[in-house]
Amino acid sequence: MRVNFTVNGRPQEADDVWEGESLLYVLRERMGLPGSKNACEQGECGSCTVRLDGVPVCACLVAAGQVQDREVVTVEGLADYAKHRQDTHPGGGCASGACGTTLDEAKRWQSKPTDGRAGEAAPLSPIQQAFIDAGAVQCGFCTPGLLVAADELLENSPSPSDQDIREALSGNLCRCTGYEKILDAVRLAAARQEEAVQS
């Protein structure tokens, strides 16, 4: 079957999609967006977390056919998504992307690959930068899912408590770090966000 949907602000079309295929497979294998990781395939690990119409979901549990006409944001589009949020909705959030982006903005809004070297090639979202600065990345496999989940947390609760952070990230497994640096990174991003709003 054919599926049309929006990924990181761009209309996309996937052909010959198998009916039982997951959104994750379509993103990784058909659209060349391997940022969302494939690990457990049962919603346990959160490595494939993406935003579906603004809502964080496990892409492995969304049937490809279910995303017809809907909007997906992956970790590849996170920096642009966060920038758009800051430009168009300062201090707030743009969950659905239905805010009416101007044509000019839409034209400029593209997902660009980074070279993976501490963001030298392209600007990072605040949460991505915080992960680097806090040393929250080890093997990196869980990082994309954590970034998408943490970014959504900061969008909806600007000064989250430690409990809020733990709960928001409870669906994302990391087997390297023991989570402390990840929590540090989210606290750092929250603190920077607050500073930016105040100044």
Angle between helices 126-134 and 180-198 (to 10 degrees): 130
Taking CB under 8 A as the rule, which mask of x and - marks residues 55-94 in contact with another protein? xxxx-xxxx-xx-x--------------------------
Among 149, 150, 154, 182, binds another protein (CB under 8 A): 149
Question: Considering the rule CB under 8 A, would residue 29 count as an interface residue with another protein?
Answer: no
Task: Report in angstroms how near the CB of residue 95 gets to another protein at its nearest.
Answer: 11
Helix H or strand E segment including 55: strand 55-58
* Residue 115 dihedral angles phi and psi, to the nearest 5°: -90, 5
Judged by CB under 8 A, the stretch of 16-24, 107-115, 123-131, 184-192 that binds another protein is 16-24
Q: Which residue has the tokens 């990174």?
A: 185
Stretch that binds another protein, among 28-36, 121-129, 133-141, 167-175 (CB under 8 A): 167-175
When binding is defined by CB under 8 A, the residue of 11, 15, 16, 20 that contacts another protein is 20
Q: In 16-134, where does DSSP find H-type helix?
A: 23-25, 78-88, 103-108, 126-134
Give counts: helices (H), strands (E), the chain.
7, 5
What distance in Å separates the CA atoms of residue 21 and residue 30, rounded to the nearest whole number? 11
Interface with another protein, residue 18, by CB under 8 A:
yes
Q: Which residue number, 55 or 121, has a Cβ lying nearer to another protein?
A: 55
Q: Is 39 in the site for another protein (CB under 8 A)?
A: no
| CA dihedral sign of residues 19, 50, 98, 10 | negative
For the record, the structure tokens of 67 come out as 């995303």
Q: Would you give the DSSP letter of residue 123?
A: P
Number of shown-chain residues binding another protein (CB under 8 A): 29
Length of the chain: 199
Of residues 66 and 159, the one with the C-beta less far from another protein: 66
Establish if 27 lies at the interface with another protein (CB under 8 A): no
When asked if residue 158 is in the footprint of another protein (CB under 8 A), the reply is no
Q: Checking DSSP bridges between strand 71-73 and strand 55-58, what pairing results, if any?
A: unpaired
Contact residues for another protein, defined by CB under 8 A: 1, 18-20, 22, 41-44, 46, 49, 55-58, 60-63, 65-66, 68, 149, 167-168, 170-173
